[in-house]
Homo-oligomer: A and B are copies of this chain.
Amino acid sequence: MVSQTEENYLKALFHLTTETVGKQDAGTNELAVFLEVKPATVNDMLKKLKEKELVAYEKYGKIALTEKGRDYAVMVIRKHRLWETFLYEKLNFSWDEVHEVAEQLEHIQSKKLVEELERFLGFPEIDPHGDPIPNAKGQIKMVQRQTLAQIATGKTCKLVAIKDSSASFLQYALQLGLGLSTQIKIKNRHDFDGSLEIEINGKPSTVSQKFAENVFVV
């Protein structure tokens, strides 16, 4: 039995170790910041997860998921993204509302539920944020992604995903008229601070480099 809390630790560990290239492990403080708990709490939990053979770690060493832990994390992420897709496509949820509810739904235990939900949705490959949905075998179809900051001046691109999907970012994006598949034209780039002048559906805006690095496009 893996508790909801434990599932959240596995998911966090997956995000911290897999979603940055060339980073296979994480630290106690890092996890604590990510999960908004104290390092001592993380430490206690790591002992439990090690006991269950879901994470590999030694005292004062780096933290990584085991194969078993990674598989478990992927299944939670699969559920999360399927539910997000359901909420967005069937229940009129907006881009910035899906995450919070999916955080709850991802912990429902029922193999049949996940598989039928996937079928019901027509085996979607990406969620409303453009992230890939792992299949029943735990395989994730990786998509080549560039950030808005990497696109040359003058080019037009399409939003496919975002990196940090916090509600504050999503609301800002929504305000700019930005959503999945939105066309973005890069009008001008300020080398001074990396900020970009862009055009969204004919409407001009200026966004920071940090913003641009948070937006994946093709």
Q: Which residues of A are at the interface with B, using a C-beta cutoff of 8 A?
A: 87, 90-93, 97, 100-101, 104-105, 108-110, 112-113, 116-117, 120
Residues in B neighbouring A105, C-beta threshold 8 A: 105, 108
Cβ B120 vs Cβ A110 within 8 A:
no
Q: How many identical subunits does the complex contain? A: 2
In whole angstroms, what is the CA distance A167 to B154 when docked?
63
The interface residues of chain A, by DSSP majority, are classed as: helix
Contact of A112 among B97, B108, B112, B117 (CB under 8 A): B97
Contact of A91 among B91, B97, B117 (CB under 8 A): B117
In whole angstroms, what is the CA distance A62 to B90 when docked?
45
Please give the distance in Å from A81's CB to the nearest CB on chain B: 17
Top-7 shortest CB links A-B: A91-B116, A101-B110, A104-B108, A92-B116, A101-B113, A90-B120, A91-B120
